[in-house]
Amino acid sequence: MSHRSKNAAAIFYAFAQFLLLAVLFSLPVLIIRIDVFILKNSVPEVSAVEYSEQILLFFTTLCYAYIAKQSPSFRRFGALVIGFFLCLLIRELDMFFDQLVFHGFWVYPASIVAASAILFSLTNRAETAAQFAAFVKHRHFALLCLGLVLLLVFSRLFGMGSLWREVLDEGYVRAAKNIAEEGTELMAYVIIFYASLRYAFAMKPVKDESAQKTNSNIFCKH
């Protein structure tokens, strides 16, 4: 391939990436509009936004389960990653557990998942640490980290009731706060899923045990 062709391919790839991200980042707004204009709700716990978050978390977990299935060397650290996202999914399903069992029951299955993942990862600390290092060095980690910070930090701060009461004053409506907070969370889940999908596509399969022992890095690109 000529130098000019390589440049054209790089530009086309960048443009395609921009379009893909534009579509992905438009999805939260579209889903919120479905809740507001079609379902006529203010994004309560049973809403299109909540269901979308649960679906994204489920498929995010599947991405890392796929990597762990294809590459046994990833499984100990992978257990931590899978356990983390499973706990988030269980937390998102808290209303289901509240109705099925009792209020706050989600803490118990989440604790079991977390404890199991931690114990399994500790069975070989050196391997877990090596895979942790490979995971955070990967070029898609920055995007995943951005999604996690948006989910765990920004959405919580941005969705604080005190902020919205101060901004809206007497015109404070809880629905506005809900839409801002849940919309930000949904955006975060989209970013996390996209980064996780990129991790799965970037995975280098390990075909035999000798390769598995000599190469602890299962990701083909950094």
Task: Give the pair of three-digit tokens for residue 204.
Answer: 């280098």
Average model confidence (pLDDT) across the chain:
87
99 or 83: which leads in pLDDT: 83
Give the pLDDT mean for 111-120.
Answer: 96
Asked if residue 9 lies in contact with residue 1, where contact means CB atoms within 8 angstroms, the answer is: yes
Give the pLDDT mean for 156-168.
Answer: 89
Please state, in angstroms and rounded to a whole number, the distance separating the CA atoms of residues 127 and 174.
47
Give the pLDDT mean for 162-187.
Answer: 88
209 or 131: which leads in pLDDT: 131
Cβ neighbours of residue 219 under 8 Å, at least 6 residues apart?
A: 134, 135, 138, 199, 202, 203, 204
Q: 73: closest CA among 194, 207, 222, 202? A: 207
Give the pLDDT mean for 157-162.
Answer: 89
Task: Give the pair of three-digit tokens for residue 138.
Answer: 């990967």
Residue 36, classified by CB atoms within 10 Å of its CB into exposed (0-12), middle (13-18) or buried (19+), is: middle
Domains of the chain, residue spans: 1-204
Q: 47: closest CA among 109, 102, 92, 105? A: 92
Element (H, E) at 9: helix 3-33
Instruction: Provide the CB-side half-sphere exposure for 37 (13 A, CA).
Output: 6
Model's pTM, two decimal places? 0.88
- Map 162-213 to HEC letters: HHHHHHHHHHCCHHHHHHHHHHHHHHHHHHHHHHHHHHHHHECCCCCHHHHH
Give the pLDDT mean for 107-117.
Answer: 96
Tell me the torsion sign for CA atoms 66, 68, 74, 78: positive
Give the pLDDT mean for 60-70.
Answer: 94
Please state, in angstroms and rounded to a whole number, the distance separating the CA atoms of residues 158 and 88.
19
Cβ neighbours of residue 184 under 8 Å, at least 6 residues apart?
A: 150, 154, 155, 158, 159
pLDDT in tens, 29-53: 999 999 999 988 887 778 899 999 9
Please state, in angstroms and rounded to a whole number, the distance separating the CA atoms of residues 91 and 109.
10
CB atoms within 10 A of CB 219: 20
pLDDT in tens, 14-32: 999 899 999 999 999 999 9
Cβ neighbours of residue 40 under 8 Å, at least 6 residues apart?
A: none
pLDDT surpassing 70 at residue 219 = no
pLDDT surpassing 90 at residue 98 = no
Q: 59: closest CA among 221, 201, 190? A: 190
Supply the pLDDT for residue 215: 44
